[in-house]
Chain A
């Protein structure tokens, strides 16, 4: 089964990143890398194939709608929510239980959330 895992960052965490200088952000990033590497190592052991992207600041998002052939583009993410999608994984897992096992190991699960969405058959 293929699952899309949406990695949702807590809004306060997103704000705190914005306050960091480039050097501070690089240092914090370096600090977090081992936790991500632990996740990738675990996924490798389980034979879970992972693909994904880290996304830019939600403030850089655009929303596109077309009504009556008119395109409207608005700035900012689609929904004003407490948590914002910061990245995703596409994972081939045995079942939902394994996807949950994977989700709970994603570092953002400790401060934000990981939403698991099965891919339509």
Chain B
């Protein structure tokens, strides 16, 4: 099954890191990706939420606002798509994502394919 792992963390912490500290975190992510090889079906780091744009259409009118759809204590900073046997396996893997050590990893299973 595919599980989307959303990585939420306080992006102001990231802003405060030095170049070397950032390199260190990227290294930890690389180690995770290598260790989880074969169980990852995708993933990306997102540009900060100040680059977010939210689009709504109401009564045929498109309304575009700057910023994320919700103001939250932690912000969505990246994601992985996990290819695992169960949500329990996804949970084990999620605990190894560096973002889980200071932020939160939200696991969202893909909807089951509707038999048609």
Contacts and interface: CB of A to CB of B under 8 A. Distances in A.
Contacts, number: 144
A71 interface: yes
B93 to A, nearest CB: 9
B75 to A, nearest CB: 10
Contacts of A56: 108-112
A55 B79 contact: no
Given A56-B111, A64-B106, 9 more contacts: A53-B111, A61-B107, A63-B106, A71-B95, A78-B72, A103-B53, A104-B62, A115-B69, A116-B54
29 contacts: A4-B46, A6-B69, A8-B69, A51-B42, A53-B110, A54-B110, A55-B4, A55-B110, A55-B111, A60-B109, A61-B106, A62-B87, A62-B91, A63-B104, A64-B105, A78-B106, A81-B69, A83-B69, A113-B54, A113-B55, A114-B54, A115-B52, A115-B53, A116-B53, A117-B47, A119-B44, A119-B46, A120-B78, A121-B47
Interface of A: 2, 4, 6, 8, 26, 29, 51, 53-56, 58, 60-67, 71, 73, 77-79, 81-83, 85, 87-88, 90, 96, 99-100, 103-104, 109-110, 112-121
